[in-house]
Amino acid sequence: MSRKFKRPDYEATLKTPIVLEDALPGNHLARFVVDIIGQLELNKIYAGYAEQGGEAIAPEALLGLLFFGYASGIFSSRKLEKATYENLGARYVAGGLHPDHDTIANFRKTFLAELQGLFVQILLLAKVAGILKMGNLSLDGSKIHADASKSHAVSYKRLLEIETQLKAEVAELFKLGEQADQGEVTLPEGFVVQDEVTLRQERLLKLGKAKAILEQRAQERYEGEKAEYDNKIREREAKARKRKRKHGGKTPKPPEAGARDKDQYNFTDPQSRMMKNSTNDGFDQHYNAQAAVEQNSMLIVATSLSNHPNDKKEVEPTLQALPPELGKPNAVALDNGFFSEANINFMEGLGIEPYIATGREAHHQDLNVLLGKLPEEPTPDASPKVKMAYKLATEIGHAIYRLRKCTVEPVIGIIKEIMGFRQFSLRGLIKVTGEWCLVCLAFNLKRMHILMTG
């Protein structure tokens, strides 16, 4: 064969010196992260360190590693440690240091509360740079996997069965102990009745706690379903009065109180909940993460997180998390999962115009809607749903709401698909809330990097 080829020299390549300044161009994300961190006020984090002790790694390096790692899809502390050797960007933001995974994990866990302050500081930098001007918001939520094992979960039905079984075993052990004391039976060597009783009583205490939590959650669910049921009945009655005839169709079934057989409690992360997956018909241990996105910049300006299976109660905590330094939004667009009279009243009380879908968007829109013809203007005594439907049909309502699909939904999609964040590394509501803030902060850094250097 006469064709010549350039052969790789692996030995020489291994000995090639790398200059990070040449490998990382001036507009690289790693450089941008370091530049942003250099502008942050970190006094609260430094105050968290003891005055005496061994030489600690500076918070700037650890923050840089977390910010760059999460923005690049590296969430594990072990993988972050490895990245400081193998990833040029991670090596740069860590300043040539190689913190071990325990140091990274402890730093993340220790300073979760301070992340909200840094989240706000970074948004203020975006405001100063002119890329963030508070206008209209889009708000949406997404279910994200908890770090909880399915094998360590118990259903309410199974819990009751185990509880009954353990109580029977405890009673049997007490009886056996009495018989042993009276010499009626001989126990096997090493078998201590009291130890076996204590073991089962401890399990009963854990099951009792799980049972109480499941019943509390069931009551919360019932109250929410009852409120929704009452609203449906009122709407049906209002329509019947307007039409002057009995409402047709199937009457809504009232909700049932109490825990259900399939309600589950997870012992790995008790504060996570079994929720329906958005991508299939299955159920998994999840948390419900919320993000409020400014429509022009597509930056996340507020976050919240809960273990509520639906979004009805998420509007208030998310909007209350809006940093006042950024200003007040004019309006908020939300899908029908957030619709409730209470949410409308809350937003109007803040001086923010709500635009909430009143139902699923039809695949084939009404011809009058396509032609821009408004429906009949509702009367003052019309239901909140009728009034909101009219509001969404107006030119301004249509313009604000249609941006929801191309703002907050792509942001959540980028977090899950591009950044690859689909499961929390931490456990418990408080810690997971802090990690969600870190994820949204990292997204904002990616977005600002594009807007300011792209």
pLDDT digits (tens, 9 = 90+) for 175-184: 888 888 887 8
Residue 164 lies in a domain: yes
Residues 426 and 316 in one domain: yes
User: What confidence tens digit (pLDDT) does each residue in 259-292 have?
Assistant: 888 888 888 899 998 887 766 666 788 999 999 9
Of 148-152, 286-290, 332-336, 429-433, which gets the smallest average pLDDT?
A: 148-152
Residue 272 lies in a domain: no
Residue 33 lies in a domain: yes
Could you give the 3-state DSSP secondary structure of residue 7? coil
- Residue pair 193/145 in contact (Cβ under 8 Å)? The answer is no
- Residue pair 109/431 in contact (Cβ under 8 Å)? The answer is yes
**Which residues make Cβ contacts (< 8 Å) with residue 169, sequence separation at least 6?**
200
CATH number at residue 375: 3.30.420.10
Calculate the average pLDDT of the chain: 89
Residue 273 lies in a domain: no
Query: Which phi and psi (to 5°) does residue 442 adopt?
Result: -65, -40
Residues 297 and 229 in one domain: no
Compute CA distances 402 → 214, 298, 415, 422, 452, whole Å: 39, 14, 21, 27, 26
Please give the distance of CA 113 from its chain centroid, rounded to a whole number. 16
Residue 227's pLDDT is 80
Residues 104 and 133 in one domain: no
Flag whether pLDDT at 371 surpasses 70. Answer: no
User: What confidence tens digit (pLDDT) does each residue in 408-425 have?
Assistant: 999 999 999 999 999 999
Of 76-85, 235-244, 377-386, which gets the smallest average pLDDT?
A: 235-244
Q: 360 pLDDT band (50/70/90 cuts)?
A: low
Tokens read off for 267:
């012992």
Residues 99 and 231 in one domain: no
Max Cα–Cα distance, the chain, nearest Å = 100
Residue 314 carries which side chain, given as an amino acid letter?
E
Residue 119's pLDDT is 97
Residue 233's pLDDT is 79
Residues 218 and 294 in one domain: no
Residue 135 carries which side chain, given as an amino acid letter?
G
User: What confidence tens digit (pLDDT) does each residue in 44-96 have?
Assistant: 999 999 888 889 999 999 999 999 999 999 999 999 999 999 999 999 999 99
Smallest CA-to-CA distance from 132 within 291, 292, 293, 296 is with 296
Q: Cα separation of 160 and 120, whole Å?
A: 47
Residue 258's pLDDT is 86
Residues 417 and 329 in one domain: yes
Residue 418's pLDDT is 95
Residue 218 carries which side chain, given as an amino acid letter?
A
Residue 177 lies in a domain: yes
Residue 276's pLDDT is 78
Residue 362's pLDDT is 52
Flag whether pLDDT at 392 surpasses 80. Answer: yes
Residue 276 lies in a domain: no
Residues 180 and 327 in one domain: no
User: What confidence tens digit (pLDDT) does each residue in 312-356 have?
Assistant: 999 999 999 999 999 999 999 999 999 999 999 999 999 999 999
Query: Which phi and psi (to 5°) does residue 135 adopt?
Result: -125, -110
Q: Cα separation of 69 and 73, whole Å?
A: 6
Q: 370 pLDDT band (50/70/90 cuts)?
A: low
DSSP 8-state class, residue 127: H
Residues 200 and 303 in one domain: no
Q: Cα separation of 340 and 13, whole Å?
A: 63
- Residue pair 446/71 in contact (Cβ under 8 Å)? The answer is yes
Could you give the 3-state DSSP secondary structure of residue 105? helix
User: What domain count does the chain have?
Assistant: 3
Q: Cα separation of 276 and 280, whole Å?
A: 8
Flag whether pLDDT at 363 surpasses 70. Answer: no
Q: 368 pLDDT band (50/70/90 cuts)?
A: low
Residues 367 and 437 in one domain: yes
> Which residue has better confidence, 214 or 74?
74
Compute CA distances 236 → 82, 233, 358, 362, whole Å: 61, 5, 15, 21
416: left (phi over 0), alpha (psi -120 to 50) or beta: alpha
Residue 372's pLDDT is 58
Percent of the chain scoring above 90 in pLDDT:
57
Residue 94 lies in a domain: yes
Cβ neighbours, 10 Å, residue 67: 26
- Residue pair 93/131 in contact (Cβ under 8 Å)? The answer is no
Residues 378 and 324 in one domain: yes
Percent of the chain scoring above 70 in pLDDT:
93
Residues 307 and 392 in one domain: yes
Flag whether pLDDT at 204 surpasses 70. Answer: yes
Residues 299 and 448 in one domain: yes
Range of the domain at 214: 151-264
User: What confidence tens digit (pLDDT) does each residue in 159-171 have?
Assistant: 898 899 999 989 9
Tokens read off for 33:
């992260």
pTM: 0.86
Residue 187's pLDDT is 82
Residue 2 lies in a domain: no
